[in-house]
Amino acid sequence: MLRFVPPAGAPLKIAQILRAWKVADRGNGTGQECLRSVTGHLQVKYVFGASSGRAALWLILRSLQRLHPERNVVAIPAYTCFSVAAAVVRTGLKIYPVEIDPHTLDFDFSQLDAVPGEKLLCIIPSNLFGLLNDLPRIRQAAQAKDAFVLDDAAQALGATRNGQFAGTEGDVGLFSLGRGKAVTTIEGGLIVTNSEEIARLVEQEAKDLDSQSRIDGAALLLKMLLYSVLLNPRLYWIPNSVPFLGLGVTEFDPGFKTEELPDLCRALLPALLNEMAKINQVRRSNAAAIMRAVAGNCNFEFPSPVRDSHPSFVRLPVIARNKETAKMAIRRMRKAGIGAGASYPSAICDIPGIAEHMSVKSFHRPEAEFLSERLLTLPVHPLVGAQDLSRMADILNSL
Ligand SMILES: Cc1ncc(COP(=O)(O)O)c(C=O)c1O
């Protein structure tokens, strides 16, 4: 069977890409104007662009470090995207991995409260899969240690809690515009803050970024056009069967590029942000349909969202009872043409060579390590059909 539902994705129309290309080509600061439109959409004062979410993270960490040069430790969830660890390492800072609560994917707060405060620069929640973390509680922990909160909403663009957007609940926040995120321009990252002091420093740091080369710019345009066509479940089997594209592969690579957000990405933002709420609503409704159909099945658990929140569900996380059940579910889904996947291959603590970048000798976190074996994710984006949803539920219920 050739139909294969991509694991994640957001629609990107050819007409939108070509319109943005024309706008970007005009120059005259229109890219900057488009970037500024983010402030209105997300109700923040300042916004900056970078070539990726991890480049945005690196810029922010450099800026925060200038405010507190005597602090060199960053607390991150022990289970999160490897890029978070890579950005901390790239900045020359040390990682303090905090145990996570597998029922929420948020921090284990007793462990967060126990993080030594003296050298702590900031705490980075990850809002994994677009499920919001408990930011008021995290801010409280940070305040007690006089540390910053960096609200990493790489996966949570458009998610809200009590009407406030994820990414805007800390001192500074970020979003990724990479493939598979809530809204995508294929590559790119955004930094948002309401703090004038942090904004000034980020602006200074961002001045040194190189702009994208013409060749890379042409390649980006081509990637956008291909993505727009190949995201269709009837065609996705094509990129999915090309191993060198590395789709779904997670790497720890502190050598990532740090450039400006390309003008083409900036020019796409206004149109994409206009559609964001509608697309996230579809994701939520698809996620709810699967959760309803699988309710009561003791082999699988869905992490619970924090109260009064509307997640963006870039993927629907499902926690299997054990490793074998997770593996079997993924195998059966993929056989049925559903892009289910295993998320990150390990906890942060188990990345090879990570020990020298840890701020503590004892850095293994059993819940995070166990979770990495049992977590699978299901596609719930707008290209998932009603039949796909019932097929996913049937497979989970058959195990
Ligand atoms: C929580 C988190 N932070 C940062 C990043 C880095 O974003 P990017 O892939 O755009 O570099 C990611 C990427 O998936 C992420 O999930």
Q: What pLDDT shows up at residue 368?
A: 98
Q: Which atom of ligand 1 is nearest to the CA of 178?
A: 10
Average pLDDT rounded to a whole number, residues 119-128: 98
**For the residues 151-174, what does the mean pLDDT come to?**
97
Q: What is the C-alpha end-to-end distance of the chain, expressed in Å? A: 22
State the pLDDT at residue 245: 66
Place of tokens 């080509």: 25
Residue 5 host element (H or E): none
Rounded to the nearest integer, the mean pLDDT of the chain is: 95
Q: What is the mean pLDDT of residues 200-206?
A: 97
pLDDT at 292: 97
51 lines ligand 1 (CB under 6 A): no
Q: What is the pLDDT of residue 242?
A: 77
Tell me the CA–centroid distance for residue 174 and ligand 1, in Å: 9
Note the pLDDT of residue 29: 73
For residue 247, name the pLDDT band (cuts at 50, 70, 90). Answer: low
Interval 352-385: pLDDT, tens: 999 999 999 999 999 999 999 999 999 999 999 9
Mean pLDDT of 179-186: 95
pLDDT score at 246? 63
* pLDDT at site 23: 87
Pocket test for ligand 1, best of 152, 176, 181, 312 (most atoms within 8 A of CB): 176
- Whether the per-residue pLDDT at 132 is higher than 90: the answer is yes
pLDDT > 80? residue 250: no
Across the range 215-233, mean pLDDT stands at 95
pTM: 0.96
User: For a pocket test of ligand 1, which of 52, 61, 81 has the largest count of ligand atoms closer than 8 A to its C-beta?
Assistant: 81
Query: φ, ψ for residue 133 (rounded to 5)?
Result: -85, 165
Residue closest to 64 by CA, chosen among 40, 35, 87, 98:
87
Residue type, 134: D
| Cα 249 to middle of ligand 1, angstroms | 13
When pLDDT is cut at 50, 70 and 90, the band that residue 398 belongs to is very high
Q: Determine whether the shortest distance from the Cβ of 53 to ligand 1 is under 6 A.
A: yes
pLDDT confidence bin for 1, thresholds 50/70/90: low
Distance 214 CA to ligand 1 centre (A): 25
> What pLDDT does residue 111 have?
98
Atom of ligand 1 minimally distant from the CA of 177 = 10
DSSP 3-state of 141: helix
- Report whether residue 49 contacts ligand 1, using a CB cutoff of 6 Å: no
Judged against a pLDDT cut of 80, whether residue 301 lies above it is answered with yes
Predicted confidence at residue 2, as pLDDT, reads 84
Strongest mean pLDDT among 20-24, 192-196, 246-250:
192-196
What pLDDT is attached to residue 31?
A: 79
Of the pLDDT bands very low, low, confident and very high (cuts 50, 70, 90), residue 312 is: very high
Check whether 191 has a pLDDT greater than 70: yes
Q: Is 311 in the pocket of ligand 1 (CB under 6 A)?
A: no
Top-level CATH class of 14-206?
alpha beta
Give the separation between CA 107 and CA 114, rounded to whole angstroms: 12
Is the CB of 348 inside a 6 Å radius of any atom of ligand 1?
no
Nearest residue to 115 (alpha-carbon basis) of 133, 91, 94:
94
The residue whose CA has the least distance to atom 1 of ligand 1 is 126
Domain ranges of the chain: 14-206
CA distance 337 to 283: 19
Please, which residues bridge with residue 73 across strands?
94, 120
Grade residue 248 by pLDDT with cuts at 50, 70 and 90. low
pLDDT number for residue 241: 81
Continuous H helices in 295-385:
323-335, 366-374
CB 371 within 8 A of CB 281: no
- Whole-angstrom Cα distance, residue 19 to residue 14? 9
